[in-house]
Structure 1
Amino acid sequence: MKFQTEIPLKQQTDNLIDYHSNLLLLGSCFVENIGEKFNYFKFKSLQNPFGILFNPKAIETLISRAVQNKKYTESDLIFHNEQWHCFDAHSKLSDTSKENLLDSLNEALHRTQERMHQATHIIVTLGTAWVYRFKETEAFVANCHKVPQNQFDKVLLTTDEVRESLISIKTMVQAANPKATIIFTVSPVRHIKDGYVQNTRSKSHLISAIHQLVNKKDVFYFPSYEIMMDELRDYRFYNDDMLHPSALAVNYVWEKFSSVWISNKAQETMGMVRDIQKGMQHKPFNPDSEAHKTFLKRLDEKKEMVQSRFDHIKF
């Protein structure tokens, strides 16, 4: 007897992710969940150097500036609530010093540009089709930084507008790096502040637009949204806010993603990395015991074995 419906998935036959892959992850807070998994398992990955980016226009802006190497200057900053901010970046980059903020922005831009040229896989997770346009400049923003809402127009991007933005992203990425595989996903996190019906409209625009680009060569779709909405359609798989996936749900979606996109050989290495990570978190009852010393020696041997295979892995 089956107690849930399952999204049919099968492992990709080409372009699989392994420990030689270079990954760039951009987008909503859900990409951070998956990014943390890649970090835990010691893949070569860079996630959200500009912080969380919820909408396709924000991601398009970042990639455009990275491709053009258009550095940030003081004219790109605003001062609000005793801090300097940039409308293109998340507030985690904001700073009381405009010099520090400019350094952070341009360093993040450089890292994005560098990784985009090296990337074997670029994972883009879209969160919402609702965007805010700053009235003064008519530019779409990634974050409003608590600037009064009357200074923005709130706009729902049409399916065509989302598609055009994604085409722009795809074109710029492939011009910079023709070998990169692009994987789109839609965040299962519901943006209830926009309204329940409005959130559904937003997600539908994103999904519809993505599927107008998907092909079997270099642009793919992973159904993280559908897995959460269908296979995990129970509030026990959510955090206390009833909006964000719980750790259990994130692990579930990660396992599904791994089964599709990560090579079998890499999954063997992931098992060794997991054992080492757990071993490093182990707290002994008696640190001076012979048993613990033996345990540490074996742990060091495992580290050396993995690190001898992959230079980028550090513990």
Structure 2
Amino acid sequence: MKFRTEVDIPGYPFRIDHRSPVLMMGSCFTDYMGSYLHKYLFDVCINPFGVIYNPLSIHKALTAILDKEEYTEDDLELYNDLYFSFNHYTGFSHPDKHKALENINRSFKEARRFIHDAHYLFLTFGTSYVYRYNKSGEIVCNCHKMPASAFSRERLTPEMITDALTGLFNRLQQVNRHLKIIFTISPVRHWKDGAHGNQVSKSILLLAVNRLCSFNPESFFYFPSYEMMMDDLRDYRFYAEDLIHLNNVAVTYIWEKFASAFFTDETRQVIEKLDSLLKAFQHKPVHPDSITHKKFVREREKRLTGLKSNYPYLPWSKFNN
């Protein structure tokens, strides 16, 4: 007897390994998966503009990566003594405009490098609702705690999303003809839209992604993280205390499905070895001066040296021990 509906993940005609640069952009679900890739020493760039929730702001960010050299003071706004960009998440804001630009451009330059070298671009859409800044008419990535009266709220249609992104994706593949794009819909609910509004919003995203994937099935793919949460892990014990975001159990479950779907056998073996070593470094001894612990430390260093020798292509400078 079955007590849950496990989601079938489609087979993908490619596999990702540690030699595959990956660019990830979108909602906070991108951070969930990206943090695992970073932890296990993949060549990954995660949300270079910070968290972006809607497809048209992702479109704007990718267009900037293709066309813009760098951000300047003209791209900044000032509110509540903070300089910020409407194209970026609040984490880039700073009281010093030079520091704000420095942070923005450091991340932006990394994104410009990745757009040419990346083998895979993961895009996670969170909502089809957007906010338009009344003064300029531009759709913003984040309202930066400005008054609600400064913005107009709109809901995109599937056609608006696909029409905007189709031309952009053609440009991306001219710049990087090997690039494959994998879409996901964030399973994080936007409860401020209301129960019905959230469902309508997610449905629009699903329709748009389905249409995009049909345009270029050899290069555009879909990973069903949304369905895993809604139809497989459909229980509040898999949510955080706010009952909206995923908890660690849910994130780990989806990560394991992600790894099984996309990684080579060798890559999964490397991850297992790295995970074991990371746990060894996180071990906190009760008696650090004991002979037993000193032996443990020597064995741990020996394992690290062995892994560095066996996998010299990994970015060991990022190993968080």
After TM superposition, the score normalised by the length of structure 1 is: 0.96
Residue 288 (str. 1) matches residue 289 (str. 2):
yes
Query: What SS does the aligned partner of 2:251 have?
Result: helix
Contact 1:65 1:109 in 2 (8 A): no
Structure-2 residue corresponding to 1:3: 3
- AA aligned to 1:256 is K
2: distance between equivalents of 1:163 and 1:205?
11
- Stretch moving more, 224-233 or 284-293: 284-293
Listed one character per residue, the Cα deviations across residues 7-27 of structure 1 (whole Å, up to 9, x for unaligned) are: 112543x32111111111100
2: distance between equivalents of 1:190 and 1:172?
32
1: distance between equivalents of 2:54 and 2:200?
14
Contact 1:63 1:172 in 2 (8 A): no
The structural deviation recorded for 1:59 is 0.9
1: distance between equivalents of 2:30 and 2:167?
20
Structure-1 residue corresponding to 2:97: 98
Q: 1:313 aligns with which of 304, 311, 316?
A: 316
Query: What SS does the aligned partner of 2:34 have?
Result: helix
The structural deviation recorded for 1:102 is 1.6
Query: What stretches of structure 1 of length at least 5 have no aligned partner?
Result: none
Structure-1 residue corresponding to 2:109: 110
Which aligned pairs between 1:26-45 and structure 2 lie closer than 5 A? 26-45=25-44
Listed one character per residue, the Cα deviations across residues 243-277 of structure 1 (whole Å, up to 9, x for unaligned) are: 00110000001111111111111000000000111
2: distance between equivalents of 1:166 and 1:88?
17
Which aligned pairs between 1:44-55 and structure 2 lie closer than 5 A? 44-55=43-54
Which aligned pairs between 1:1-315 and structure 2 lie closer than 5 A? 1-12=1-12, 14-214=13-213, 215-308=216-309, 309=311, 310-314=313-317, 315=319
- Stretch moving more, 200-209 or 169-178: 169-178
- AA aligned to 2:123 is V
The structural deviation recorded for 1:300 is 1.3
- Stretch moving more, 3-12 or 91-100: 3-12
Listed one character per residue, the Cα deviations across residues 128-157 of structure 1 (whole Å, up to 9, x for unaligned) are: 010001111111100000111111110100
Distance 1:216 1:263, change over 3 A: farther
2: distance between equivalents of 1:242 and 1:87?
29
The structural deviation recorded for 1:56 is 0.8
Query: What SS does the aligned partner of 1:240 have?
Result: coil
Contact 1:49 1:112 in 2 (8 A): yes
- AA aligned to 1:2 is K
2: distance between equivalents of 1:116 and 1:191?
29
Contact 2:22 2:122 in 1 (8 A): yes
Distance 1:81 1:295, change over 3 A: same
Distance 1:244 1:71, change over 3 A: same
Query: What SS does the aligned partner of 2:4 have?
Result: coil
2: distance between equivalents of 1:180 and 1:289?
52
Contact 2:9 2:224 in 1 (8 A): no
Output the aligned Cα RMSD.
1.3
1: distance between equivalents of 2:240 and 2:315?
34
- AA aligned to 1:275 is S
- Stretch moving more, 96-105 or 48-57: 96-105
1: distance between equivalents of 2:176 and 2:7?
31
Query: What SS does the aligned partner of 1:229 have?
Result: helix
Query: What stretches of structure 2 of length at least 5 have no aligned partner?
Result: none
